């Protein structure tokens, strides 16, 4: 591995680690599951409405993984079903329309 590739990888790991800290701890306190749910739904709404930056994608991914682990027994299907229900109840008609094609999907 070249030194440049190593530096790039190390920088990427440092960014991801700092973002993980942002999700896990806020002002020295662990973020609650409710806060993780709010963060995740905000990420979903924003991603459905507009293009989000790479940094936002990474932050949302960390929030997703932590929420999946803590609230849904590390089961992405449980998280997905919950998020579809929550988003379908959104007051924003554009969001409801964006997820409508996915709601009838049956996952066993």
d(CA 68, CA 77): 9
**Tokens coding 5:** 């590739």
CA distance 64 to 23: 10
pLDDT digits (tens, 9 = 90+) for 46-83: 888 889 899 999 999 999 999 999 999 999 999 999 99
Q: Is residue 1's pLDDT more than 60? A: no
pLDDT range class, residue 6, cuts 50, 70, 90: very low
Can you give the pTM of this predicted structure? 0.63
CA distances from 93 to 48, 52, 88, 90 (A): 12, 20, 9, 7
pLDDT tens readout for residues 17-40? 444 444 544 556 778 999 999 999
């Amino acid at each position: 591995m070249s030194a440049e590739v190593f530096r790039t990888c190390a920088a990427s790991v440092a960014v991801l680690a700092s973002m993980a800290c942002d999700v896990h701890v806020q002002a020295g306190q662990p973020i609650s599951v409710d806060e993780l749910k709010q963060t995740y739904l905000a990420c979903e709404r924003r991603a459905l409405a507009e293009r989000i930056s790479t940094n936002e994608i990474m932050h949302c991914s960390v929030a997703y993984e932590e929420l999946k682990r803590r609230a849904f027994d590390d089961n992405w299907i449980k998280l997905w079903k919950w998020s579809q229900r929550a988003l379908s109840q959104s007051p924003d008609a554009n969001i409801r329309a964006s997820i409508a094609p996915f709601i009838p999907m049956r996952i066993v």
